[in-house]
Homo-oligomer: A and B are copies of this chain.
Amino acid sequence: MIGIFDSGIGGLTVAREVMRALPDCPVCYLGDTARTPYGNKSPETVTRYAIQDTEFLLAQGAMVVVVACNTASAAAYHALRQTFDIPLFEVITPVVETVLSLPKIQRIGVIGTRATVASGIYERMIRERDPQKSVFSKACPLLVPLVEEGWMNKPETRMIVKKYLHSLKVRQVDALILGCTHYPLLKDVVQQKIGKRVRVIDSSQAVANSLVRFLEDRPELHDKLRSSDPSCLYVTDVTEQFAKIAQSILQRNVSLTHVEL
């Protein structure tokens, strides 16, 4: 099966796209809801959690693991590569490659958690590939709690998004990367506040596409993934709120299994 993990619900936006792109491959999702969020924690702590999350998915039979959390992708991907000998996907490279493949994009904005923005990973990756691009980042630490409250369309949320995006709007970015897997749930309000002419890009589809391309070259692995156990959804803490939002993201009934890490 395909293992996918996140600190909580955000990664479900990635899981949804992976399930759409590869409907015949069961997915094992882990949301580390007992320790969520990761975005305001240190790289060391996030790395420790990401290693435990990956170990758990491997124990469930995952043959491929997707780190569906920007904070963990930024802080822990390198450590995960060194620790585990399986195909590992993160959510940063695919979206960077997507934005660089678009025409007429010179100035790129990035929004993310405090930890993701502090890592500087987007600037580094974009400038390594194209030193001519300008990159401007902004940490938006309140957006995750707002999404987790389901406040996607409240006036307070629109005001906070507007405040966060102000500095990027002033810089006249051509594209805006949603550098957190929670943010696709705020895509409409972000698009409205940053302006219609700005391309707003999230990683979920780009990640699913890179997984599809990877499996096209490896038909044997694809066959193995197809024949694995049915999809499952694990959480380290069970709350009603999580079940409610998970259901609305995946648009199906979900059954959660509680695990302790």
Q: Are B155 and A41 in contact (CB under 8 A)?
A: no
A115 closest partner in B (C-beta):
B239
A141 closest partner in B (C-beta):
B149
Copies in the assembly, this chain? 2
Partner of A159, one of B45, B114, B155, B241: B155
Q: Are A42 and B238 in contact (CB under 8 A)?
A: yes
Known A-B contacts A141-B145, A145-B141, A156-B156; A239 and B41 likewise in contact (beta carbons under 8 Å): yes
Q: Mark A38-57, 1 if CB is under 8 A from B, else 0.
A: 00111011000000000000
How close is A161's CB to chain B, nearest CB, in angstroms? 10
- Point out the residues of chain B lying under 8 angstroms from A73, CB to CB: none
A70 at the B interface (CB under 8 A) = no
Complex Cα spacing A45 to B236, Å: 9
Complex Cα spacing A45 to B239, Å: 10
Q: Mark A220-247, 1 if CB is under 8 A from B, else 0.
A: 0000000000000000111101000000
A33 closest partner in B (C-beta):
B41
- Point out the residues of chain B lying under 8 angstroms from A212, CB to CB: none
Q: Are B241 and A114 in contact (CB under 8 A)?
A: yes
A146 at the B interface (CB under 8 A) = yes
Known A-B contacts A141-B145, A149-B142; A40 and B239 likewise in contact (beta carbons under 8 Å): yes
A174 at the B interface (CB under 8 A) = no
A154 closest partner in B (C-beta):
B163
Complex Cα spacing A85 to B151, Å: 44
- Point out the residues of chain B lying under 8 angstroms from A145, CB to CB: 141-142, 145
Q: Are A41 and B237 in contact (CB under 8 A)?
A: yes
Q: Are B149 and A237 in contact (CB under 8 A)?
A: no
Complex Cα spacing A149 to B142, Å: 8
How close is A39's CB to chain B, nearest CB, in angstroms? 11
The 9 closest A-B pairs by CB, nearest first: A145-B145, A45-B237, A34-B45, A35-B35, A41-B237, A156-B159, A156-B160, A42-B237, A42-B239
